[in-house]
Amino acid sequence: MHLGNARTALLAWLDARAGGGRIVLRIEDLDPLRSRRTYADLILRDLAWLRLDYDEGPIFQSERAARYAAVLEDLKARDLVYPCWCARADLHHAAGAPHAGEEVRYPGTCAQRSCTHGVRRRKPAWRLRTPSRAYAWEDLVLGVRSERADLYGDVAVRRSDGAFGYQLAVVIDDAELGITRAVRGEDLVTSTPRQLALHELLGYRPPRFGHAPLMLDDAGRRLAKRAPSTTIAGLRDAGHDPRAVVAELAAGLGWTARGERLWPHDLLAAGFGLDRLRAHRERRRA
Q: Tell me the C-alpha distance between 148 and 132, whole Å.
A: 7
Question: Kind and range of the H or E element at 68?
Answer: helix 65-77
CATH annotation of 3-285:
3.40.50.620
Show me where the domains of the chain are located. 3-285
Q: Tell me the C-alpha distance between 6 and 55, whole Å.
A: 18
Residue/partner pairs of 69-78 with CB below 8 Å, 24 or more apart = 69/164, 71/168, 71/172, 71/202, 72/126, 72/157, 72/158, 72/164, 72/168, 74/202, 75/128, 75/157, 75/201, 76/126
pLDDT tens, position by position, for the chain (286 residues)?
A: 999 999 999 999 999 999 999 999 999 999 877 888 889 999 999 999 999 999 999 999 999 999 999 999 999 999 999 999 887 655 555 555 565 556 778 888 888 765 655 555 578 899 999 999 999 999 999 999 999 999 999 999 999 889 999 999 999 999 999 999 999 999 999 999 999 999 999 999 999 999 999 887 665 566 655 555 689 999 999 999 999 999 999 998 889 888 899 999 999 999 999 988 887 777 666 5
Which pLDDT belongs to residue 117?
A: 55
Q: What is the dihedral of CA 28, 217, 44, 196, to 10 degrees?
A: -30
